Every structure is written in structure tokens, then in C-alpha cells.
Amino acid sequence: MKNEKFVKSQKILRLATIGSSGDPHIVPVWYMYTNGKFYVGTNTNTRKAKNIKKNSKISFCVDTGIRSPDIIGVMGMGRAKLILKTEMVKSISKKILLRYFTSLKNKSAQELLDQTDCIIEITPKKVTDWRY
């Protein structure tokens, strides 16, 4: 990805999935980007996970918003799949959470880790970026 450094520096990815009725569902999520893929920890009971289970098509956006001296963003479309293997889920979840917490001993970090039972793996297919 052209803007890999930018994507790794940001903290929020907006993830859009498609519901069973065909309606879009968009949600801001914490993430990790590595080896050309995005990883998002979640629970299999969330709407985004249920949507991905039925339809792997997604779109996403990572941007600086409007309060930055530079307006930069990356958006794209691709496919997502759910990773359900417990060891992989815990390992990836810890890496994601350490982007947001200084330690996993934090009560909130532990609660999130306990609630996470799957990882959404996003493989971008088409990516567009901008800078103003």
C-alpha cells in the first residue's frame, strides 16, 4: 500500500459491511495494519462479524479528519474473513490492544481481550488515497 506509514500511524478505521437486507453498516474500529492486511478484534455477536460471515465484501476508510494541518486519507474496498482459532485471536488481539494501551494489565484492556473471540482480517483489493 502506498500510504503504509500513514495507515500505521492512525488509530481509527471506519469499516463498512453489508447486512443481510443489503443495507450498509459502518462502524469505527481499532485496528492493526501489517503485511498488506488490516486486523480488527471483535466478538462474533457483533453486527459487523455477522455481516462478514454472510458477505465478505467490505469497504474502509482511514483519515485524519478535518482538524489536521494536512488532510490525508486512504479508503478502499476488499474482502474480509473471520479468524476464529483461539490462539491466533488472542495473539493478534494483544498486538492490536497494545497500539491503544501502554499495558494489557489495564482493566479496560483486559475486558476487551476477554470479549474478543474473533479477528476480522481485511484484504484490500482497491485502494484510493488523498492528501490536501
Average pLDDT of the segment spanning 107-127: 96
DSSP state of 22: S
Mean pLDDT, the chain, integer: 94
Per-residue pLDDT, averaged over 32-49, amounts to 97
- Give the per-residue pLDDT at 25: 97
Give pLDDT, residue 18: 98
Q: What is the Cα–Cα distance from 24 to 102, expressed in whole angstroms?
A: 34
Q: How far is it, in rounded angstroms, from Cα 111 to Cα 32?
A: 19
- Helix, strand, coil % over all residues of the chain, rounded to 5: 25, 40, 35
Residue 120 has pLDDT above 90, yes or no: yes
In this prediction, residue 67 carries a pLDDT of 72
Tens of pLDDT, residue by residue over 61-86, are 999 877 767 889 999 999 999 999 99
